[in-house]
């Protein structure tokens, strides 16, 4: 049995390495002759020097476009575009009215970026975001809570330990996390 687990782990580890190796670099691809000579692409150069070099090469328009959730690509510098939404900054993702993506992700709830929300000093905006997160978190999390309950129930039946008393603490923790934000930030 141990050999089967070892073989499985070896296959999983190898597949992970192959997947990582097959992914192209986000920026500074060493195979790209245009980016090889750029100072900000050289890992031997100190970070602060690389940052200054990169910022100095960006136009004002490119800098502004990099401040929003869907940053543009900068082909002349070998930088690909990206979307911050993939990092779940807002803690809520639910198909419905909101940001439209199309394809596999038809829509999502999206709030202003955290930095711009904080810069507004708008307490009522934070409270509204908290209320929406509170409602949508439970809409999105209830199926998971049901699954957790089933797993704990199954574990309790299979062993002499009773895991079910843990369940209310999980629920309370999620409830406390999702409470609407009130007061100054």
Residue 144 in tokens? 């998971």
Strand partners, 74: 79
Nearest CA to 85 out of 96, 69, 101, 102 is that of: 69
C-alpha 67, offset from chain centre: 17
For residues 62 and 68, give the distance between their C-alpha atoms in angstroms, rounded to a whole number: 11
For residues 86 and 6, give the distance between their C-alpha atoms in angstroms, rounded to a whole number: 33
**DSSP structure class, residue 31:** T
For residues 122 and 135, give the distance between their C-alpha atoms in angstroms, rounded to a whole number: 21
- Which residue carries 């955290």 as its tokens? 114
- Which residue carries 């198909």 as its tokens? 95
Spans of all domains in the chain? 21-84, 87-158+169-184
pLDDT digits (tens, 9 = 90+) for 60-114: 998 888 777 677 788 889 887 766 554 444 555 544 444 445 555 555 566 777 7
The answer for residues whose C-beta is within 8 angstroms of residue 155's C-beta and 6 or more apart is 161, 163
Residue 52 in tokens? 């200054």
Which of 79-83, 172-176, 177-181 ranks highest by mean pLDDT?
A: 79-83
pLDDT digits (tens, 9 = 90+) for 27-65: 788 888 888 889 998 889 998 999 999 999 999 998 888
Pair type for strands 99-102 and 82-83: unpaired
């Amino acid at each position: 049995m141990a050999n089967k687990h070892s073989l499985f782990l070896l296959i999983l580890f190898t597949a992970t390495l192959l997947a990582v190796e097959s992914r192209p670099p986000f920026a500074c691809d060493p195979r790209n002759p245009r980016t090889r000579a750029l100072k900000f692409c050289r890992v031997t150069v100190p970070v602060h020097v690389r940052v200054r070099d990169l910022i100095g090469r960006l136009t004002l328009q490119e800098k502004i476009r990099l401040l929003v959730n869907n940053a543009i690509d900068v082909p002349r510098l070998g930088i690909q575009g990206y979307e911050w939404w993939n990092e779940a900054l807002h803690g809520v993702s639910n198909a419905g009215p909101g940001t439209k993506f199309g394809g596999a992700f038809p829509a999502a709830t999206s709030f202003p970026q955290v930095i711009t929300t904080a810069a507004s000093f708008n307490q009522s905006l934070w409270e509204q975001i908290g209320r929406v997160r509170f409602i949508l978190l439970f809409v999105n999390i209830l199926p998971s809570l049901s699954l957790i309950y089933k797993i704990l129930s199954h574990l309790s039946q299979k062993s002499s330990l009773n895991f079910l008393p843990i369940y209310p603490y999980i629920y309370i923790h999620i409830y406390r996390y999702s409470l609407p934000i009130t007061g100054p930030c």
